[in-house]
Amino acid sequence: AQSVAQPEDQVNVAEGNPLTVKCTYSVSGNPYLFWYVQYPNRGLQFLLKYITGDNLVKGSYGFEAEFNKSQTSFHLKKPSALVSDSALYFCAVRDGNTGFQKLVFGTGTRLLVSP
């Protein structure tokens, strides 16, 4: 069964500094990886995904993520954080070979960007 780990409950970063939100995954087949963001009292918004190809994936709002197969990681990054990036971030994985309909989420990481 697929699983996702987000080891940090919260990440604090100052505005203008780079940010990284960590994610590691476990699947038996090919991983399809996703990042979502949730603002207070809102649904989840899709940021970016890795399916195949280039390990560096670019997404919405200046976010990017790097797929690392050997480390089974898919960390979310942004070169310069904004206060408005403060939100709850979820990493998710789908197994491309088996159970491809099932999207499993990590426990979420709260990003707090201070002015």
Q: Which residues bind other proteins (CB under 8 A)?
A: 32, 34, 36, 38, 41-46, 49, 51-52, 88, 90, 94, 96, 100-105, 107-108
C-alpha dihedral sign at 83, 84, 89, 94: negative
**b/e string for 54-71 if b means 16 or more Cβ within 10 A?**
eeebebeeebbbbbeeee
Least separation, in Å, of the C-beta of 28 and other proteins?
15
Q: Which C-beta is closer to other proteins: that of 49 or that of 75? A: 49
Residue 17 or 55 with smaller CB distance to other proteins: 55
- d(CA 36, CA 44) in angstroms, rounded, equals 6
Q: Which CB sits closer to other proteins, 15 or 96?
A: 96
